[in-house]
Amino acid sequence: MTRQVFRERDCVHRDEGAEGEFYNGVFYVQALQRLRVDQAVQVASKVSSFFWADAPHILVWLCNDCATELRLNDKPRALSHATRRQA
């Protein structure tokens, strides 16, 4: 029961077989906040929603197009596997 469970969200394009990656929920929220409000609303409408307070426990799968809109794909450290601590 102590195992940390990440919940997953994804954009609508995943079902269409688009290429994409998991991003840390915190980076996703930060990226949304950098956008203009109307852009942020548009991108957020394509991703299943979650409480921003839960972001540290959320992995967000984004296709390349959505990641580009959020400008996350030029930030390799935003990728979920890069956030794990090295032993």
Tell me the one-letter amino acid at 45.
Answer: S
Under the rule (CB under 5 A), what is the footprint of Zn ion? 11, 13, 63, 66
Q: How far is the CB of 66 from Zn ion (least distance, A)?
A: 3
Q: How far is the CB of 42 from Zn ion (least distance, A)?
A: 12
Residue among 30 and 48 whose Cβ is closer to Zn ion: 48
Pairing of strands 58-63, 20-24: antiparallel
Residue among 44 and 55 whose Cβ is closer to Zn ion: 44
| The token pair that represents 54 in the structure block | 């839960």
**What span, in angstroms and rounded, lies between the C-alpha atoms of 78 and 23?**
6
Q: Are 63 and 12 in contact (CB under 8 A)?
A: no
Q: How far is the CB of 6 from Zn ion (least distance, A)?
A: 19
